[in-house]
Amino acid sequence: MRAHRWLLALGLTLAIGAGARDGLDAWVAAAPMPPLLTTTGAEVLDRHGRPLRIYTVADGRWRLAPGQVDPAFTSMLIAFEDQRFRSHAGIDPLAMLRAGAQAVRHGGIVSGASTLTMQVARLLEEGSTGQWAGKLRQIRLALALERRLSKDEILQIYLARAPYGGNIEGIRAATLAWFAKEPRRLTPAEAALLVALPQSPETRRPDRHTDAARAARDRVLDRMARQGVLSFEAAEAAKLDRVPVARRPFPALAPHLADRAVAEDASALRHDLTIDAALQAQLEALAARAVRGLPDAVSVAIVLADHRSGEILASVGSAGIGSGARQGYVDMTAAHRSPGSTLKPVIYAMAFDRGLAHPQTLIDDAPARFGAYAPQNFDGYFRGEVTAADALRQSLNIPPVRLLDAMGPAHLMDVMRRAGLQPKLPGDHAGLAVALGGVGVSLTDMVQLYAALARGGEAMPLRWRQGEDGAPQRILGRAAAWQVGDILAGLAPPANAPARALAYKTGTSYGHRDAWALGWDGAHVAGVWIGRPDGTPVPGAFGGDLAAPILFEAFQRLKPGFDPLPPPPPDTLTVGTAELPQPLRRFAGRGAAFDVARGAPELIFPPDGARMAAQGGLPVKVRGGTPPYTWMANGAPILTGVRAAQASLTGLGQGFSSISVIDATGRSARVTVRLD
């Protein structure tokens, strides 16, 4: 009978145990499971994998994928928080017994019994641990997590979600915020602080409670020494390290390009760009410095690329994203603006490529009218016959318009589009005004166009995302592109800049709205734009004065020296004007424009019958005719051999004077003025 009773008791015990086990299994299996996917902020990384910009998650918290974490930190975390993490099933009965015994002995809670899995359960539920109901719920969820996830997966959730003070969550956000570094390699002091912070993230925040943070860190170091994770010597040495007293700002480089990357692919959490973070930071600082002393509304944009690969290495959209008056939020690398004179090199290259002209071809810089269009030089003067090379170096306006008139503006637009540009015309059709900036282009487009010149006439789309590629397309001949580069390399550089280091061109749009400088060396190409984002004029702004020094300095920030420009291609004709074939010695152009230009001179100032003050010289101005001019007053020559269209006549007395101008062919014009 006694044996039967024992057998019955054993059976009942086993049945109850089995029932309890089944009940526990059912209870755990039925546990409500919160979403296990951890939402992390998007990251925009540079060409070396360094962060350019990091975005918060929807509720404004900094939370990032953990990435590669120092194994020493993980070992320290497990040793401090949950020594049997790798072996228990979600709860640690031994830790619970220890915590309970300590609570009875000391009359209150001395140490907790939460495992890392239970802490993950709390983080997933975003619940508290103070109430028994909450604790029981976390135990249930911890047991369920252990059945569904591996230990490493549970640990990854902790590393992504653990709180580190304020709106910082996860180990990677913490190391960036407190140490400005990735969590791949941490010192013992850094690791100990990061182990201690999640236990009480607000009362131990280093920037607000430095002493409490240091004390908590040192307690972790002491325990690590007792458990043999660290030597006592290493722990004591780590205590000498300073605790950070301020949060480091998260990376926020290339804000315009980063925003564009995220907007184009909002679902991606990682965006790998071709930008170099170190160079980007330097050029953003250069842009901010460049606007000092300029009107408040003026901004600056810079694009720098490797023209060999087509990779954009830096893109600065404004003088500062937070600059209110300067409208720093506007990305001026992408805005369409008038390029001023910066299209002239392409026009000359097209003319050289088509056999219409050569750098040493003589071309007339004299007043001309093309239908209703009568362009003037920037300074109002004309130089007469000049070589094409000199006309480009001096940025004269009439010669490139003559060349474009002979080729047709549509051909320039075609070259621009084949180079990958997206120009915007004010009307339906391109007119000759595009030669002097009568078209809208972006800074990035212009850098891409100049990259084609730098590559010997071969256009390649510039790219700012890694992994993208584009096939090169020839838009100009090698010799023509080299000739233009050789001409531009002969321009005088800004003060203290080396000569012939860059082939570059400056430009100023109509009304001083935009100042440009674009150039290249043997490896890189860059462009600078300065102006007001709203398009209003900036009086006195010239590309040569403002933008060119920034262009040269951008190259100097990139590398210690300039890469040499290439030698001439084998098919390049390098001779003087007299040695050119007869058709290339002088540019004939189209007759309609020259008929006006070669007409009789017209004295357009002063007007006939004008009454003017006699003090100082009398300003005079002629249009048309053939220079050089001879200026006469009352039948006597005052100035001879004058090629410019403007002059000043001195030595005239009071009273009426007859002013005459005679051109090189003997044609003349005359007015009568009264000087008081």
10-residue mean pLDDT profile of the chain (676 residues): values are 57 53 60 83 96 93 94 96 88 64 48 80 74 73 86 95 96 96 96 96 96 97 96 96 95 96 93 98 96 89 97 95 74 96 97 94 92 86 93 96 94 96 87 94 98 97 91 94 98 93 94 93 98 85 85 97 95 88 82 48 80 76 84 81 85 84 80 83
Tokens of 651: 């030595």
Beta-carbon count within 10 A of 207 CB = 15
Give the distance from CA 502 to its chain's centroid: 21
User: Is the preceding omega at residue 628 within 30 degrees of 0, hence cis?
Assistant: yes
> For 337, which DSSP code?
B
Within 8 A by CB and 6+ apart from 349, the residues are 453, 457, 476, 480, 481, 483, 484
Q: How far apart are CA 640 and CA 645, in angstroms?
A: 12
The position carrying tokens 């007043």 is 367
* pLDDT for the residue 515: 94
Active-site pick, 299, 341, 395, 660: 341
478 is written with which tokens?
């090698």
What is the distance between the alpha carbons of residues 343 and 130, in angstroms, rounded to a whole number? Answer: 71
- Name the packing angle between helices 71-81 and 210-226 (round to 10°): 90
Output the pTM of the full model: 0.80
In sequence order, the 6+-apart residues with CB closer than 8 A to the CB of 208 are: none
Q: At what angle do helices 344-353 and 478-489 cross, to 10 degrees?
A: 140
**Token pair recorded at residue 58:** 């929807």
Place of tokens 């993490």: 85
Does residue 458 sit in helix, strand or coil? strand
* Residue 607 CB partners (closer than 8 Å, separation 6+): 671
Kindly give, in sequence order, each residue whose CB lies less than 8 Å from that of residue 386, ignoring residues fewer than 6 positions away. 362, 363, 365, 394, 396, 399
Tokens standing for residue 576? 């003087």
Q: According to DSSP H, which parts of 498-624 are helical? A: 548-558, 582-585, 591-597
Of 391, 398, 408, nearest to 374 by C-alpha is 398
Model pLDDT, residue 592: 37
Determine which one of 81, 146, 182, 284 is catalytic. Answer: 81
Instruction: Say whether 102 sits in a helix, a strand or coil.
Output: helix
The answer to whether 341 is a known catalytic residue is yes
CB-neighbour burial class of residue 187 (10 A; exposed 0-12, middle 13-18, buried 19+): middle
Using N-to-C axis directions, what is the helix angle for 132-148 and 2-29, rounded to 10°? 90
Q: Which residues, 6 or more positions from 252, have their beta carbon under 8 angstroms from its beta carbon?
A: 53, 54, 321
- Cα–Cα distance for residue pair 229/225, rounded to 1 Å: 6
- Spatial CA neighbour of 164 closest among 194, 138, 188: 194
| Predicted pLDDT at 59 | 87
Q: Which residues pair with 648 in a beta bridge?
A: 619
Q: Which amino acid is at 123?
A: L
81 is catalytic: yes
Does an H or E element contain 504, and which? strand 503-508
